[in-house]
Amino acid sequence: MFEWIDVSIPTGAALYSQLLIGLINGAFYALLSLGLAIIFGLLGVINFAHGAQYMVGAFCAWALLHYAGIGYWPALLLVPLIVGGLSIIIERTLIRHTYKLDHAYSLLLTFGLLLIIEGVFRQAFGTFGQPYAMPSSLTGATNMGFMYLPNYRGWVLVASLTICLVTWYAIERTQLGSQMRAATENAKLTQALGVNVPVLMMLTYAGGVGLAALAGVMAAPIYQVSPMMGAEIIIVVFAVVVIGGMGSIMGSIVSGFALGLIEGLTKAIYPPASSLIIFVAMAIILLIRPAGLFGRSQGVPAAVSVVRGGADTSINPWLSTALLFLAIVAPFFFYPVFLMKALCFALFACSFNLVLGYGGLLSFGHTAFFGGSAYVAAHAMKVWGFPPELGILAGVATGATLGVIIGSIAIRRQGIYLAMVTMALAQMLYFVAVQAPFTGGEDGIQSVPRGMLFGFIDLNDRLTLYYVVLAIFLIGFAAFVRIITSPYGHALKAIRENEARAVSLGFRTNSFKLICFVLAGALAGLGGSTKVIVFGIASLTDVHFAMSGEVILMVLLGGLGTVLGPIFGAFAIIAMESYLQAYGAWIKVIQGVIFIVIVLVFRQGIVGEFDRIAGWGRRLMGRSPSKGVQARDASAGAHN
């Protein structure tokens, strides 16, 4: 029996009001995406901290008003200068070290900055919003005949459009803009012509951040000033940038306002779809124009540069035996629930390691596979009455299916563009989880019964459950090892190292990448559905984009491209969250610091560094290191 959806179009003031709200949102999308496009287009830096800097701008205006009595109009000038000035310190101490590295390094480093900034502000202000008074000169509304236009919102619309156009003109039509673009194309030649390129790049980053801070000041009287306000808008802004074309100034402006209008119109016609429409539009546009509306098409690069380790496939049998023994006796010395959670996330980390460490595909939406599978498994076991083994199979099938869908769209792009696409598609799934009836909304699916495995193994016994989870982990880990050591795995690594050469040898590289997404999705689905059995719940946390950042941290910390690295990384991060829980938001700050340290000085991770040190020891003793160590040492030398 079908339910008809009411999509009646409102008329008159109601429609104009929604379109106005869409235009206002579009103004902020355009202003924020403009700053992102400038930083990426001229510096090649994906500034994931952009939303946090937008939030800092709003808090800075709030602080100036409450502690110094400085009102809105002076704040419009002071806040971009203050936040932009602080960003100069960040650029000089951190960001500049990523200019000669792959774009993915800047994304990961600025993601660490995001965690630090949000963690500090959440610790200081909590999650509640702070009101900011609207300037008295802009209160009230103007009767336009067909509707009343709030004066402040009209000001925001006009000011944002003016700022966007002036910025575009300055970059595209002035000598300073020409110097910026020349420095991007050939920094050495531009430096030889007398242009101070380092200062120019520093000011470019500060200018892009200043635009985000300015947007924060303008948003403060409309939205409450909250530590989470940047996280709520930045994913949409990234989608806008991808639609317009990464690095395209005019593309960001046009796409921002246009998508704001589309969002407003959708909210007027069918409100539940308003959160999804931007991501649906992104998927459709990328299928037609993979480079975005205003982006330039790209061919297959000569060598796809990605964040990667040595892609080692060797396993020390003595170490593996020792770890297996520790896993068997661990529940007698450690809390079994902690161990089971770590094992589930170790599967998730192995899945991501397959995609990035061995496939060279930076997926920033990996949480879709983990969380989507968790929801389906939870629904199947609680509502449909599936036994646990069928619930797990349903989760694995869901992960593989999502791998087909997301992978089919994502592989049309390369490198950092692929990361943005996967992140936006995962956010689309997040909004579905928020609104779909079967997901339970903000409450999630709770009290999922564990049941009897194969009809006779009682999973309600904690010790029995632990050994079942350990067996599931070992099956998943064995599958992961088999994949990376198979002919397919070797071909995948060859594509990662030099895709153009693989194409010339007759490999259908997109097919290999798609299979990689499917296999990784199935492995992540195994971890997600097993986690449901352990905790009896599937929640929005499982599909939130922060979970993607967490699994990336696990893999990087343990050792990207190593077999055992994700396991060590998963246990380290879960232990940190479990034993430092009393410190609240400071955990995010610690994780952000770890991100930055790994990107700048510790790119090998725990296992990678241990193997490198062991390799040095073998060389000192007159023994040659293993091929895996040699590969990682060569990779480290290339990156350093």
Contact status, residue 351 vs residue 524, Cβ threshold 8 Å: yes
- The string of pLDDT tens digits covering residues 228-245 is 888 878 888 888 888 888
- Backbone phi, psi, residue 275, to 5°: -75, -20
What is the amino acid identity at position 480? F
Residue 401 confidence (pLDDT) above 90:
yes
Predicted confidence band of residue 312 (pLDDT cuts 50, 70, 90): low
CB atoms < 10 A from the CB of 323, how many?
14
Flag whether pLDDT at 8 surpasses 60: no
The two tokens of residue 633 are: 């040492």
Residue 416 is predicted with a pLDDT of 72
Per mean pLDDT, which range of 92-96, 189-193, 420-424 is the poorest? 189-193
Q: What is the per-residue pLDDT for 635?
A: 43
Asked if residue 478 has pLDDT above 90, the reply is yes
Q: Is 547 exposed, middle or buried (0-12, 13-18, 19+ CB in 10 A)?
A: buried
Q: What is the pLDDT of residues 545-589, one digit of tens each?
A: 889 888 998 998 898 888 998 999 999 999 988 888 777 778 889
150 DSSP β-pair partners: 141
- Report how far Cα 308 is from the mean position of its chain's Cα atoms: 17
Q: Are 361 and 515 in contact (CB under 8 A)?
A: no
Check pLDDT > 60 for residue 629. no
Q: Which of 129-133, 159-163, 469-473 has the lowest mean pLDDT?
A: 129-133
pLDDT of 628 = 46
Helix (H, G, I), strand (E, B) or coil at 507: coil
Least confident range of 214-223, 365-374, 593-602: 593-602
Question: d(Cα 279, Cα 235) in Å, to the nearest integer?
Answer: 10
Could you tell me the two tokens for 140? 């009230």
pTM listed for this prediction: 0.84
Given a cut of 70, whether residue 640 has pLDDT beyond it is: no
Identify residue 541 by its one-letter amino acid code. T
The percent of residues in the chain predicted with pLDDT above 90, rounded, is 44
Q: What is the pLDDT of residues 419-431, one digit of tens each?
A: 888 988 898 899 8
**Number of C-beta neighbours around residue 3 at 10 A:** 5
Give the contacts of 286 (CB within 8 A, at least 6 positions apart): 242, 243, 292, 409, 412, 413, 421
* pLDDT computed for residue 448 by the predictor: 93
pLDDT value at residue 286: 77
Categorize the per-residue pLDDT at 618 as very low, low, confident or very high, splitting at 50, 70 and 90.
Answer: low
**Helix then strand then coil, % of the chain, to nearest 5:** 75, 0, 25
In the chain, residues under CATH classification 1.10.3470 are 317-633
> For the domain with range 317-633, which CATH number is right: 2.60.40, 2.50.20, 1.10.3470, 3.40.50?
1.10.3470
Is residue 632's pLDDT more than 80? no
Asked if 399 and 524 count as a contact pair (C-beta separation under 8 A), the reply is yes
* Model confidence at 633: pLDDT above 50: no
Q: Quick one: pLDDT at residue 43?
A: 84
The mean pLDDT value of the chain amounts to: 85
Phi, psi of 525 (to 5 degrees): -65, -35
Mean pLDDT of 328-332: 92
What does 550-585 look like in DSSP terms, one character per residue? HHHHHHHHH-TT-SSHHHHHHHHHHHHHHHTGGGTT
